[in-house]
Amino acid sequence: MQETKIEIEGINPIELFGVNNSKLKLIKNYFPSLKIVARGSVLTVQGDAEIIEAFEQKIDALVLHIRKHKGLTESNIDNLMVEDAVQILSDDGSEILVHGNGGIKVKAKTFNQRKLVSAVNKFDMVFAVGPAGTGKTYTAVACAVRALKAKEVRRIILTRPAVEAGENLGFLPGDMKEKLDPYMMPLYDALRDMIPPEKLADLIELGVIEIAPLAFMRGRTLDKAFVILDEAQNATVAQMRMFLTRMGMSANFIITGDMSQVDLPRKQKSGLAYAIDHLSHIEEIAVVRLNKNDVIRHNLVKKIIEAFDKLDHEE
């Protein structure tokens, strides 16, 4: 057994340890085999040498986060503790993707969201998979808007399968656009954060931004475009094969989905699962997996995901 003393420098120790050591208790949960005692600005750690070394790396990452972001939340701790410390130290996540409406700065907020942005920068086709609230769609749309503003693409195409919760388009009121708009609302919501309403309406009218159901992609070649397939877990295998083969020479594809929310008939395989199973070995394709630690909605959402995950594993 080894004992090491770690001096916390450059920050107020309470920012790291929390009031009554509340944050330190959370950190300890990730290193149950270590004995960790805090006195003043010094941590005394006892345990296996390799585990202590890993612990020191995580403390360095946490301290660096506090210095850069002037704070540390429980969600930050979770994100930093479950990812590779060396990667975290080399990526401060400071890149602003888009300056949105009302002066908001749209950027990746968690490690896996930053990993998604990095993958989009390097690969023409990226799969982003994870539970609700992890920012898959929002981050993907921000990347698309950034590419359009930088004139890297000529248009943005946003699409979803029009199959959700067993609803049937034929029973919805209105014309085709009015029937489809409710399915596309999350995409509209993200765009409204990033593009002024009048300009967004003009871009949609001119076809620079197209929002359409997946079925409308059949027979097309999608080129010089940033294309996002959202809710891809509800695409059938045939639809997924059709969509992926629409890719033109100068296109970027992001496919997002949540395998815990498949609304297809029980006997029908999800095209998203099929694609990841059969395409993830291709070097030019990236698969980014987000998890409960990337949830940026109400704190209850993370707890709800944890509860449902536990039930899934028990069944």
Convert the pLDDT of each residue in 7-60 to its tens digit: 998 899 999 999 999 999 999 988 888 999 999 999 999 998 888 888 888 898
Residue span of the structural domain in which 131 resides: 98-314
- Domain end point (choices 89, 123, 153): 89
- Our CA dihedral for 201, 205, 208, 210, rounded to 10 degrees, sits at 90
Residues 81 and 138 in one domain: no
Residue among 235, 238, 283, 269 at smallest CA distance from 255: 235
Residues 84 and 155 in one domain: no
Give the gyration radius of the chain's Cα atoms.
Answer: 22
Residues 233 and 102 in one domain: yes
What's the CATH number where 119 sits?
Answer: 3.40.50.300
Residues 117 and 263 in one domain: yes
Residues 150 and 127 in one domain: yes
Residues 215 and 84 in one domain: no
At a CB cut-off of 8 Å and minimum separation 6, what does 245 contact? none
- Give strand pairing partners of 296: none
Which helix or strand (DSSP H or E) is residue 127 part of? strand 125-129
Contact 128, 114 (CB under 8 A): no
What is the reported pTM? 0.67
Q: What is the pLDDT of residue 113?
A: 87
CA angle 189, 195, 199 (to 5 degrees): 115
- Domain end point (choices 38, 62, 89): 89
Residues 64 and 108 in one domain: no
Residues 146 and 74 in one domain: no
CA angle 245, 249, 253 (to 5 degrees): 55
Most confident of 89-103, 152-166, 205-219, 282-296: 205-219
What are 171-224's pLDDT values in tens digits?
555 555 566 667 678 888 889 999 998 999 999 999 999 988 898 899 999 999
What's the rounded Cα separation, in Å, for the pair 265 and 268?
Answer: 5
Residues 144 and 285 in one domain: yes
Residues 280 and 308 in one domain: yes
Higher pLDDT, 158 or 212: 158
Residue among 91, 89, 92 at smallest CA distance from 68: 92
Percent of the chain with pLDDT over 70: 86
- Domain end point (choices 89, 109, 139): 89
Residues 43 and 118 in one domain: no
Count: domains in the chain = 2
Tokens in use for 217?
């992609």
What's the CATH number where 75 sits?
Answer: 3.30.1370.10
Residue among 10, 6, 7, 5 at smallest CA distance from 66: 10
Q: Do the bridges between strand 155-160 and strand 285-289 make them parallel or antiparallel, or are there none, so unpaired?
A: unpaired
Tokens in use for 63?
């301290």
Residues 297 and 158 in one domain: yes
